[in-house]
Amino acid sequence: MTPALRIVIAGGGSAGWMTACLIAHRWAHLGAQVTLVEAPDIATIGVGEGSTPSLKRFFEVLGIAERDWMPACNATYKASIRFRGWSPASGVAEYSHPFTTQLDLHTEDAFVNNCRNRRLGFDVPTLPDAFLLGGVLAAAGKAPLAPAHFPFRMEYGYHFDSARLGAFLREHAVRLGVTHLPRRIVRCEQAADGNLTALVTDRDERIAGDWFVDCSGFSAMLMRGALGVPFTSFKDNLFNDAAVVMPTPQHRGVPVETVSTALSCGWAWSIPLTTRFGNGYVYSRDHLSPEGAEAELRAHLGAPAENAEARHLTFSPGQLARHWDHNCLAVGLAQGFVEPLEATALHLVLNTVDLFTDHLERGGFTARHREDFNAVITGRVERVRDYIVAHYKLNTRDDSDYWRANRANEALSDPLLHILETWFRRGDLAAELAGMEGLSHFQSLSWHCLLAGYGAFPPLGRTQRDDVDFHRSRDIAAFLSGCAMNFPSHDEALGLPPLPAAQDQA
Ligand SMILES: Cc1cc2nc3c(=O)[nH]c(=O)nc-3n(C[C@H](O)[C@H](O)[C@H](O)COP(=O)(O)OP(=O)(O)OC[C@H]3O[C@@H](n4cnc5c(N)ncnc54)[C@H](O)[C@@H]3O)c2cc1C
């Protein structure tokens, strides 16, 4: 167990407040004192509105019910991400990558078996939407909330207003005893051994600590600034480095999925909240100007975006060479950023804090623990990167140099090359991924969704499909749509009034 610690967190974005809540919750009884310092005049990034199921676990750990936090954050349920237009030449216009539920254990084998047969050249159904419950719920506009009599555990994520989530967590953290100091940090003090000893604010206050957490966003002022930790760029693998963001009004029948649509030099997200849609276009500045990106996003969104205000931001894909250095941990954008395609950033925040607190409880501040921790987190970020890189490498678009350059990209990691090679030589993908146990957030089923969703298969053979044992997707579709009848509509689950009759909408 840890000694009573003074922990100082620099930064009050989602990463800072999540870290504060988790540490205060976990270590309050050990006498840990948590202080969070945030500059009132440096805005949080204000985007990042989609989560994975790890946000569900985060609130469960804190003991906060959905009915308490979701309305406060204009949050909606997320069963899946829908990918549109990423692989038009393969004949697949769109596909769904759902969060896996316990029920999928009953249909997963059929999907994987069909994919195997399709890899062997048989023309059998392989669109993930037809085999997994999350995609079926999303298509039917149903919330992934199982009634008490439904005997399978559901997994799902959320969409939320990130500014409201930050405010909600701040209030909760303060209730847990976290001290909130709205001050700008102007410098850090260090001991002779390099350890940080205090943060100094613009009011010349000295905030001393035993342990520091850098949640200062892209500036990484403690890790890169004070401690000089190098940054490893992913620009060779991931070309996108900018986004333009604009909200549009919400309409009734709130979707249960994020939609990611490929555009000329990147992709656009559409994230439904109860009060608005969050939209953004993530693109590469080497291939498109900010003005060009804004015009393309407006055209993509159509009339609802006519008066929408646009906000532009830039980022550098990559990660710190060390996420834990001396007595400082980096969390959130300060530790790095891959890109938002699979909405994994907050997942990595929670992963980092969980693993770090585990390590500290087990072994304290030893160099061996630090090295183990850094190897695991670095590997996890790299495996998320690989999964995202595969979306670009496998694209079959031909409408710009951007997509052709992505397809031609040879800067692939060894693990990614092995995964793709295993798939195309018809090998055992699950076994290949099992070798990366613990490092890969994306398991075999997710890779099957991506590869089958892209129609990334060897050419069809001449043998008829009736020669193999395959699963007819319509049998499974009937089973899943029967299951889906147990679930409430999304609007109903969110407590929104029912849709007006058709003539009222005209
Ligand atoms: C285009 C884009 C889309 C994204 N989409 C998603 C998504 O769908 N899902 C997801 O999980 N994530 C997403 N992310 C990532 C997500 O936005 C971040 O991981 C999350 O918001 C956490 O940010 P943060 O708290 O690390 O940094 P920030 O929000 O930037 O907060 C930094 C904090 O540090 C403080 N600070 C900075 N300097 C000082 C100083 N000198 N003194 C005191 N305080 C200081 C600031 O005041 C602020 O409080 C996206 C990111 C981008 C760029």
- Whole-number Cα distances in Å, 162 to 41, 70, 146, 169, 271: 18, 12, 26, 10, 12
Give the ligand 1 atom nearest the CA of 52.
Answer: 11
- Whether residue 204 is contained in a domain is answered as yes
Pocket test for ligand 1, best of 38, 285, 316, 339 (most atoms within 8 A of CB): 38
| DSSP code, position 493 | H
Same domain, 247 and 263: yes
Same domain, 171 and 224: yes
Q: Which residues have any ligand 1 atom within 6 Å of their CB? A: 10-16, 37-39, 42, 44-45, 47-51, 162, 184-185, 215-217, 219, 221, 243, 280, 282, 313, 315, 332-334, 340, 343, 345-346
**How confident is the model at residue 467, as a pLDDT?**
59
Same domain, 248 and 369: no
Q: Which of 314, 340, 371 lies at the terminal end of a domain, its last residue?
A: 314
| Ligand 1 centroid from CA 120, angstroms | 45
Q: Is the dihedral of CA 159, 160, 166, 171 positive or negative?
A: negative
φ, ψ dihedrals at 163, nearest 5°:
-65, -40
Give the ligand 1 atom nearest the CA of 345.
Answer: 11
Q: How many CA atoms lie within 13 A of 80 on its CB side?
A: 28
Same domain, 226 and 168: yes
Same domain, 358 and 374: yes
Give the ligand 1 atom nearest the CA of 184.
Answer: 42
φ, ψ dihedrals at 341, nearest 5°:
-55, -40
Same domain, 228 and 347: yes
Same domain, 215 and 184: yes
- Whether residue 99 is contained in a domain is answered as no
Report the nearest-CA residue for atom 13 of ligand 1.
48
Instruction: Name the residue range of residue 365's domain.
Output: 6-49+161-232+318-379
Which of 69, 57, 288, 293 is CA-nearest to residue 172? Answer: 69
Same domain, 208 and 325: yes
CA distance 364 to 358: 10
Q: Which of 351, 379, 407 lies at the terminal end of a domain, its last residue?
A: 379
Give the ligand 1 atom nearest the CA of 14.
Answer: 25
| Ligand 1 centroid from CA 428, angstroms | 39
* CATH number of the domain encompassing residue 351: 3.50.50.60
Pocket test for ligand 1, best of 9, 19, 44 (most atoms within 8 A of CB): 44
- Whether residue 123 is contained in a domain is answered as no
* Type of residue at 214: D
Same domain, 265 and 307: yes
Q: What are the E-state strand segments in 88-184?
A: 94-98, 157-159, 179-182
Local mean pLDDT, 10-residue blocks, the chain (506 residues) = 80 97 90 95 92 95 97 97 97 95 93 92 91 95 93 95 96 97 98 97 96 97 98 96 96 92 98 96 98 98 95 97 97 96 91 91 80 93 96 97 97 94 92 76 92 94 66 82 94 80 43
Q: How many CA atoms lie within 13 A of 448 on its CB side?
A: 31
Q: How many domains does the chain have?
A: 2
Q: What are the E-state strand segments in 75-156?
A: 76-78, 80-84, 94-98
- Whether residue 35 is contained in a domain is answered as yes
Same domain, 226 and 338: yes
- Whether residue 45 is contained in a domain is answered as yes
- Whether residue 333 is contained in a domain is answered as yes
CA distance 424 to 451: 10
Q: Distance from CA of residue 182 to its chain's centroid?
A: 28
Report the nearest-CA residue for atom 33 of ligand 1.
11
Same domain, 173 and 222: yes
Q: Which positions are catalytic?
A: 78
CA distance 119 to 421: 12
| Ligand 1 centroid from CA 346, angstroms | 10
- Whether residue 466 is contained in a domain is answered as no
- Whole-number Cα distances in Å, 346 to 37, 48, 213: 20, 8, 16
Pairs from 416-423 (Cβ < 8 Å, separation ≥ 24): 416/386, 416/389, 416/390, 419/386, 419/390, 419/447, 420/390, 420/393, 423/119, 423/447, 423/451, 423/456
**How confident is the model at residue 506, as a pLDDT?**
34
Which of 357, 358, 373 is CA-nearest to residue 324? Answer: 373
CA distance 437 to 443: 9
- Whether residue 141 is contained in a domain is answered as no
Same domain, 300 and 326: no
End-to-end CA distance of the chain: 64
